[in-house]
Amino acid sequence: MNATEPVPSSANAPAAKDIPAVPPSGTNEFKLIGVSEFNLPAYKDHAVILKGLLIKATPTSRLNVTSVTNVSPSCAPAPAK
């Protein structure tokens, strides 16, 4: 929830320069698949960078996760609708 637009990447983990000082909030939502090895409940309410294979679909696109990087222990407020 509150995901930003996906951007292409050529690596499994983000470079330090790719991690924002203040994590942004977006309006996208993705169904995450392939997450059993990443212990995602440990990141509840955190801002994270997820990398993986984007599978565009309607109504909800999916992301087959290949890496998780913790950015902040709290999320940015959701943008106004």
pLDDT tens readout for residues 3-21:
877 877 766 555 556 566 6
Angstrom distance (rounded) from CA 76 to CA 2: 9
Angstrom distance (rounded) from CA 76 to CA 23: 6
pLDDT tens readout for residues 31-63:
999 999 999 999 888 888 888 999 999 999 999
User: pTM value?
Assistant: 0.68
User: In terms of DSSP bridges, do strands 30-33 and 61-72 run parallel, antiparallel, or are they unpaired?
Assistant: parallel
pLDDT, greater one: 60 or 78: 60
